[in-house]
Amino acid sequence: MGTRHNKKLFFWGFLVTLLGSTVIYLAAIAHGPDFDLEMIREIPTQVKIDEIQKAVSDISTWPQWFHSLKEAQMLDGMGRPLSVRDWNLQPGSLLELSIDPKKGPWKRFKILTSVTQYVPKKELSLRVLKDSSGKLNQIFDRLDWKMEFKETPQGSLIRGTVSAHAIHWRSKLFGTIAKKILLTQVFYPDLLKLAGMKNVKSGISLSPTEQ
């Protein structure tokens, strides 16, 4: 009985020590220095670059391949919506993304992004400047989305990169123990949907005054 009792004490003592060490380790990460995070994903597709370019260049089609995106709007330098006729995707363009997870009006929010790089048929990069919910800005002080496109003998290759600078205990903790899950949740372009875009048609409907 004594030997069995000692084994139980040893087991529980070891378990408590392990759990305590784990808690201390995770706390050190959560309250440690800020750090960078990055995730890269590549999606091959038979869709040609020209079709992908149509979906990328026309922001009215973005709700078809952005996660939970209801509407994309281009803004001027003062933050005012531009007329569709004045939309011109280029570095420096300001884009407002209206996100609707379809879980009630209180879950809707907007993300303000800036185009940091745009090379037709090659690359589109966006930087998240502000989100109205405050959730993204609270855990990251930098969040970038990059999509690169390459023509292949079979069709195309889409390469997506999400990079961020973690500043909050949650982003630092989950960025360490579950980086892929965390960065997948904050990367709104859906590469699989983009890879399946064929015969893309503009979602723009011009009013009589704009035609």
Domain check: are 2 and 26 in the same one? Answer: yes
Q: Check whether 111 has a pLDDT greater than 50.
A: yes
Please give, one letter per residue, the 3-state secondary structure of 16-83: HHHHHHHHHHHHHHHCCCCEEEEEEEEEEECCCHHHHHHHHHCHHHHHHCECCEEEEEEECCCCCECC
Q: What was the pLDDT predicted at 150?
A: 96
We report the CATH number of the domain holding residue 165 as: 3.30.530.20
Q: Give mean pLDDT, residues 67-81.
A: 93
Kindly state whether residue 128 falls inside one of the protein's structural domains. yes
- State mean pLDDT over 30-49: 90
Which residue segment(s) compose the domain that 1 sits in?
1-31
- Higher per-residue confidence, 112 vs 203: 112
Average pLDDT of the residues in 119-130: 97
Q: How many domains does the chain have?
A: 2
Asked if residue 206 belongs to a domain, the reply is no
Question: Is the domain of 54 the same as that of 112?
Answer: yes
Asked if residue 123 and residue 105 are part of one domain, the reply reads yes
pLDDT surpassing 50 at residue 2:
yes
Q: 71: pLDDT confidence band, cut at 50, 70 and 90?
A: very high
What pLDDT digit, counting tens, does each position of 189-211 carry? Answer: 999 999 998 766 666 544 434 44
Contact assessment for residue 134 and residue 141, using Cβ atoms and an 8 Å cutoff: no
Give 85-107 pLDDT, tens digit per residue.
999 999 999 999 999 998 888 89
**Cα 201–chain centre separation:** 24
Are 10 and 74 in the same domain? no
CA 192, chain centre distance (Å): 13
Do 107 and 186 have their domain in common? yes
208 occurs within a structural domain = no
Q: What percentage of residues in the chain have a pLDDT greater than 90?
A: 67
Statement to judge: residues 71 and 167 lie in one domain: yes
Which residue has 């990059």 as its token pair? 146
Same domain, 22 and 67: no
Determine how β-strand 69-75 pairs with β-strand 140-152.
unpaired
CA distances from 157 to 40, 49, 71, 112, 195 (A): 13, 9, 26, 27, 8
Per-residue model confidence as pLDDT tens digits over 139-152: 999 999 999 999 99
Residue 32's pLDDT is what? 73
